[in-house]
């Protein structure tokens, strides 16, 4: 080690010592556990790339049945797509309204652990159940139609945005909050004037992304009677009208692209 110190500069030696600390016994154990988990999951998932390649001809033959797309009912598809976008919009809006207070309560740097942990478990429960399950529940409650889909999207998305929003809150600079606290401000004033201005751009970005995702999610909720383009999609699949399915999917892709362009513009204005 003495010879090493003579041959290298102090900066190089410090870097080597720092890198040497990255490899520790406990990290090696964690790495081996991760490899074991991946191997076990691989076997449980029955992943077989050979079968995928071997049967790829079947997929190509099946895909040919989707072309050319049949746009004969394009007016109906367009109307249903507008309903789907509306479902995604209102589902996201309601989710944001619920996620903001929940995210604040779930932030370690704002509230104590006895408030944070129960709130986080609530968020876990909200996003731990798929939208389709929520849609089935709300269809029983409010009947068939888009309203059930809006509620399903709102509940599921509130869990996701609550988690993302709280992580953004925990990453803020503490200085502005401490400065406001020093003036004798209340906890609510700390949040409004010290926290929200810092996280608003990131919150907006998360919300816009979830809106785009929710439009895609809303497109399949019609399968369980929750309205939107999913109804036409399900009916076309059931009737083996794959060319109409292709037309619906093209319209959905175009709608998603338009939403993505608009979202990018809004993000560029805010960030």
Give the predicted TM-score (pTM) of the model. 0.84
Give the three-state DSSP class for 123: helix
Instruction: Name residues whose C-beta falls within 8 Å of residue 237's C-beta, 6 or more positions apart in sequence.
Output: 245
Q: Which residue has the tokens 């606290």?
A: 181
Average pLDDT over residues 188-213: 91
User: In this predicted model, what pLDDT tens digit does every residue of 51-74 receive, in sequence order?
Assistant: 888 888 888 888 888 999 999 999
Higher pLDDT pick, 176 / 69: 69
Q: What token pair was written down for 94?
A: 């309601």
Residue of 86, 63, 77 whose CA lies nearest to 248: 77
User: In this predicted model, what pLDDT tens digit does every residue of 201-227 receive, in sequence order?
Assistant: 899 999 999 998 999 888 888 888 888
Q: Which of 10-24, 69-83, 216-230 has the lowest mean pLDDT?
A: 10-24
Instruction: Name residues whose C-beta falls within 8 Å of residue 37's C-beta, 6 or more positions apart in sequence.
Output: none
Q: What token pair was written down for 109?
A: 């740097």
Task: Look at residue 165 in the predicted model and tell me its pLDDT.
Answer: 96
Task: Look at residue 1 in the predicted model and tell me its pLDDT.
Answer: 47
What does the mean pLDDT of the chain come to?
88
């Amino acid at each position: 080690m003495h010879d090493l110190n003579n041959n290298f500069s102090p900066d190089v030696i410090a870097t080597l010592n720092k890198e040497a600390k990255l490899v520790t016994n406990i990290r090696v154990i964690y790495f081996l556990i991760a490899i074991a988990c991946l191997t076990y999951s691989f076997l449980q998932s029955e992943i077989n790339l050979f079968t995928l390649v071997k049967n790829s001809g079947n997929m190509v033959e099946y895909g040919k049945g989707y072309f050319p797309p049949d746009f004969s009912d394009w007016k109906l598809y367009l109307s249903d797509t507008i309903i789907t976008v509306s479902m995604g919009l209102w589902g996201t809006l309601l989710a944001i309204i619920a996620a903001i207070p929940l995210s604040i309560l779930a932030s370690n740097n704002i509230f104590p652990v006895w408030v944070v942990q129960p709130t986080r478990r609530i968020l876990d429960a909200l996003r731990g159940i798929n939208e389709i399950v929520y849609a089935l529940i709300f269809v029983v409650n409010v009947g068939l139609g888009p309203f059930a889909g809006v509620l399903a999207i709102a509940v599921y998305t509130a869990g996701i945005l609550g988690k993302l929003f709280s992580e953004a809150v925990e990453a803020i600079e503490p200085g502005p909050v401490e400065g406001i606290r020093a003036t004798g401000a209340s906890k609510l004033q700390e949040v409004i004037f010290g926290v929200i201005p810092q996280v608003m751009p990131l919150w907006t970005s998360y919300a816009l992304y979830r809106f785009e995702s929710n439009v895609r999610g809303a497109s399949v909720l019609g399968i369980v009677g929750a309205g939107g383009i999913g109804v036409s999609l399900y009916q076309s699949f059931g009737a083996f009208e794959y060319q109409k399915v292709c037309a619906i999917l093209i319209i959905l892709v175009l709608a998603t692209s338009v939403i993505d362009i608009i979202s990018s513009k809004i993000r560029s204005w805010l960030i």
